[in-house]
Amino acid sequence: MSQNPSTSTSQVTSEAARRRTFAVISHPDAGKSTLTEALALHGQAISSAGAVHGKGSRRGVVSDWMSMEQDRGISITSASLQFDYRDCVINLLDTPGHADFSEDTYRVLTAVDAAVMLLDAAKGLEPQTLKLFEVCRARRIPVITFINKWDRPAKDALELLEEVENRIGIKPTPVTWPVGIGGDFQGVVERLASKPEEGMVRFERAPGGATLAVSEQLSAEEAASRFGDAYAQAVEESELLAETDANHDQEKFEAGATTPTLFGAALANFGVGQLLDLLVDIAPSPFDRESDAGQRRAVDSDFSGFVFKSQANMNSSHRDQLSFVRICSGRFERGMQVTQAESGRTMSTKYAQTMFGSSRDTVEEAWPGDIIGLVNATGLRVGDTIYAGKKITYPPLPAFAPEHFGALVMTDTSKAKRFRRGIAQLDAEGVVQVLYSERRGDATPVLAAVGPLQFEVTIARLRAEFDAPAHVDNLPYQLARVTDAAGAKALKTAPGVEIFTRPRDGAILAAFPNKWRLQTIQSDYPDVKLVALLAGGQG
């Protein structure tokens, strides 16, 4: 099916230009989900922000919809929020911060045009932060940095910038600069050339932080009178930054050489409005994407998109499966016929929805940059391309090298059918990699994961969603390599090696207890194919 003749290319281009599609990423506990809600609050998509679970009477964040997330106060799976702000449509994806759920985060990063990286002002760069910066750089995703929790004791602001530049090689270009040291946050000096007025924006916390903070523009004279040395120091440091060429440059930002940087406090809603405005002003809109053959699909050409996430049972009233699709080109219209590139099968899109956390609404049309959910789209898997008109296949999503292996054992054999259905569902979602070996048989699948928390999620969801209790027996493997049929045959009886098949894509994996055993096997079997997967924590 070609582009709807009633839809002009100029309309598609215009709608795409209004989209800002970005992910919020960070190390665990940097305040990522809190910032997500604060952004939605500033966009007037919600009237009261939730916060980390357990803060008095305040509810859990809207993007953390899974009971396990709400119980632990962490994000386990990504969530999509869409809302209007100014003249733009915001597609915001909240991601897990914990390294055990890196796969979900990295898949989300294939579906966005920019990223907001949170740094904890007291901790600076942390291991997961470093890895995520590297992934963004490898994927050429422009990054805006938000230094969070400035209302608490923190490192020196200039020291934080130096740490980012020295350890990552990306130059921070502050667009706001704090008035007051960490723990004594009074407001910010705005440094963008588009805001040349002198003075500062003063912040005042709203009761409980659940509603918008009060902000007030002060002139230079007012700021100097009220904040004295703190304001004078902020101005002096801002001038020093200008002398070191730490000013925003759009081309360098889009090339990934610089990261525009803001200071704020998401829980108090300080600086969040400036961040949302900055995203509208400088974040790139959807662009032409490359196919797996290296050809570019223009945003104003026929419809296309790819599945970057699959999720079942997001809401107890919706016991169904949702395939998250990033629209890359053309106009999507509910009910249109599209083709699945991998199988050539034609499918209808009658049940299409837009998401706001676990809430959903039917979507009639969508444009490049939007995230839509296709309900019970049988046969769609993570990484699949769908299109209308001229065929295109987008590059496959990366597979990750598991570092933890465990045999999944059902504890009630009378529920074997539910157990198998649950495992198939969680495998399709990519919650874990599900493997099988001749040694254990089909009744005992083996879970392979980047981190052990993925095992806990699997067990919890099997119990809660499929009434299929199970437990995991840990296996003594730490790494895996892709091999072929000849390699599997050669290594079948090798001590300390187990051969698995991965039904998801038909891959054959050889698992090893440690890198030394792998090195020995490579030496003893030099002709055997052993190909490394993408490192789970490195991308």
Per-residue CA distances from 41 to 13, 88, 119, 358, 503 (Å): 28, 16, 21, 17, 43
Domain for residue 395, yes or no? no
Per-residue CA distances from 497 to 131, 476, 491 (Å): 30, 10, 7
Annotated binding site: 94-98
- What CATH number did the domain enclosing 197 receive? 3.40.50.300
CA distance 205 to 268: 6
The total of other beta-carbon atoms located within 10 Å of residue 398's CB is 16
Instruction: Please report the beta strands in 232-281, taking only residues with DSSP state E, as ranges in sequence order.
Output: 258-263
pTM of the model: 0.83
Domain for residue 188, yes or no? yes
Looking at the fold, whether 268 and 293 belong to one and the same domain comes out as: no
Looking at the fold, whether 106 and 222 belong to one and the same domain comes out as: yes
| pLDDT tens for the 539 residues of the chain, in order | 445 545 678 999 999 999 999 999 888 888 888 898 899 888 888 766 553 333 333 444 444 444 554 555 444 456 788 999 999 999 999 877 555 566 778 888 899 999 999 999 999 998 878 878 888 888 889 999 999 999 999 999 999 999 999 999 999 999 999 999 999 999 999 998 766 568 999 999 876 656 788 899 999 999 999 999 999 999 999 999 999 999 999 999 999 999 999 999 999 999 999 999 999 999 999 999 999 989 999 999 999 999 998 877 655 555 677 899 999 999 999 999 999 998 999 999 999 988 776 677 899 999 999 999 998 777 788 889 999 999 999 998 876 788 899 999 999 999 999 999 999 888 877 778 999 999 999 999 999 988 888 898 899 889 988 899 999 999 999 999 999 999 999 999 999 999 999 998 889 999 999 999 999 999 999 999 999 876 443 33
> Final residue of a domain: which of 227, 262, 282?
282
Say how many domains are in the chain.
3
Looking at the fold, whether 119 and 231 belong to one and the same domain comes out as: yes
CA distance 128 to 504: 27
Domain for residue 266, yes or no? yes
Give φ, ψ of 283 to 5 degrees: -65, 140
Domain for residue 226, yes or no? yes
- 3-class DSSP state of 260: strand
Looking at the fold, whether 260 and 312 belong to one and the same domain comes out as: no
Annotated binding site for GTP: 94-98
H-run or E-run covering 226 = helix 220-243
Q: Which amino acid, one-letter code, is at 484?
A: D
Looking at the fold, whether 306 and 449 belong to one and the same domain comes out as: no
Q: What angle do CA 148, 149, 150 make, to 5 degrees?
A: 95
Domain for residue 523, yes or no? yes
Question: Range of 165's domain?
Answer: 19-282
- What CATH number did the domain enclosing 450 receive? 3.30.70.3280
Beta-carbon contacts of residue 136 (< 8 Å; ≥ 6 apart):
25, 109, 115, 117, 142, 143, 256
The total of other beta-carbon atoms located within 10 Å of residue 282's CB is 19
- Name the one residue in this structure whose structure tokens are 């750089």: 137
Q: Any bridge partners for residue 289, and if so which?
A: 297
Looking at the fold, whether 25 and 155 belong to one and the same domain comes out as: yes
